[in-house]
Structure 1
Amino acid sequence: MQQFNDAQRVQDYYRQRQQQPGWFNLVQALFSGILTSAEDEDAREFLKMIGGNLAAQHTLPAAGTVGELEDNLNALLARFDWGVVSIDATGQYLSLRHLAWPVPSQGQDDILWQTALIAVLEGAYSQWLNAQSNHAQVPVRWLETTAEGGFIFRYQNGL
């Protein structure tokens, strides 16, 4: 049932959004240049830093519940047309499912784009969540990309 809900949510999101060709192409070129000209880990760390810096410029309002946190994150993501996130909380960690992320133009390297976007999102989510909880050193980590195209991240102390 979750897969159907995710697919419907993604379709609804894309129906309501349109990409701006010039800016999106520029970002794709920058991501590609960074990932192809630097060592893999250096490039990913640089892109995480970029995501963290962007998140620091667009602060997340304080949230009292996981539902408020999810709503606040989705409001920020909507500003950038970066998709939507849903959060599941356990006693040990938060699981973030990021859907409807910006897709690359036809003919672009999908894997390269996803790698860059995942790194930027790791940095942004780390900044936003650490600012909420005052844990300056807890990173958000990408775990997997689902068959439906959702990025799964985990926020967990000691991961």
Structure 2
Amino acid sequence: MQEQNYTQVAQEYYRQRHTTPGWQSLVQVLFSGILASADDEDGRRFLTLMGGNLARQHALPASATLGELEDNINHILSRFDWGVVKIEATQQQLALVHIAWPVSPQGEDDELWRIALISLFEGLYAQWLQAQGGQPYVPLRWQESTPEGAFVFRYQNGL
């Protein structure tokens, strides 16, 4: 993955967006309930499944290029005010870098919030890539967060 500073992208995104009061608190309660009522792995799998279901409800149009795919994903993410994604490709993988994801309400359960969002985004991105012609045996997984806080997901055979 190429070295980039995503802080400027995140700052520009947050400058243009306004958080709607209430929705994040509701989602936080749901995330907390799901992750508290199931063991850690089951809760994450459930949220990943819900991300896939959300991707099917908000299907992407066919994309002929990676740039078009990035634009189509960002168009849907903008409807939810869920940040932006940058797609970086190499011969072996795609890296989807999710920048400016929604922050937890009043800083509550920040780690739980990140785990829940990562799980949800894994399902969302995996389903979208599969619908674009990706293979179900090629996994999409969160690998790391950048120093600026962006989530990095990798779509690569053999992960």
Smaller-chain TM-score bracket: over 0.9
AA matched with 1:147: P
The runs of at least 4 consecutive aligned structure 1 residues that moved more than 2 Å come to 136-139
Provide the rounded CA distance (Å) in 1 between the counterparts of 2:136 and 2:144.
Answer: 24
2:4 corresponds to which of 2, 8, 18: 2
Partner SS state of residue 96, structure 1 = strand
Pairing 1:105–2:105 present: yes
Report the alpha carbon displacement of residue 68 of structure 1 after superposing the two structures with TM. 0.7
Residue 12 of structure 2 corresponds to residue 12 of structure 1: yes
Per-residue Cα deviation, 1:80-138 (whole angstroms, up to 9, x for no partner) = 11100001111111011100000011240100000000000000000000100142343
Which residue does the alignment assign to 2:47?
A: 47
Partner Cα separation in structure 1 for residue 123 and residue 134 of structure 2:
16
Identity %: 62
Once the two structures are overlaid, the 10-residue window that deviates more, 111-120 or 144-153, is 144-153
The answer for unaligned runs of 5 or more in structure 1 is none
Deviation at 1:139, TM superposition (A): 2.8
How far off its partner does 1:151 sit?
A: 0.2
Matched position secondary structure for 2:108: coil
Equivalent position of 1:136 in the other structure:
136
Question: Kindly tell me: are residues 107 and 90 of structure 1, through their superposed partners in 2, closer, same or farther at Cα, counting changes over 3 Å?
Answer: closer
- Measured in 2, the distance between the counterparts of 1:59 and 1:85 equals 16
Could you tell me which residue of structure 1 aligns to residue 84 of structure 2?
Answer: 84
Number of matched residues? 157
CA distance in structure 2 between the aligned counterparts of 1:154 and 1:139, rounded to whole angstroms? 8
How do 1:113-152 and structure 2 match up within 5 A? 113-152=113-152
Output the TM-score relative to the length of structure 1.
0.94
> What letter corresponds to residue 2 of structure 1 in structure 2?
Q
**TM-score, normalising length from structure 2?**
0.94
- Unpaired segments of 5 or more residues in structure 2? none
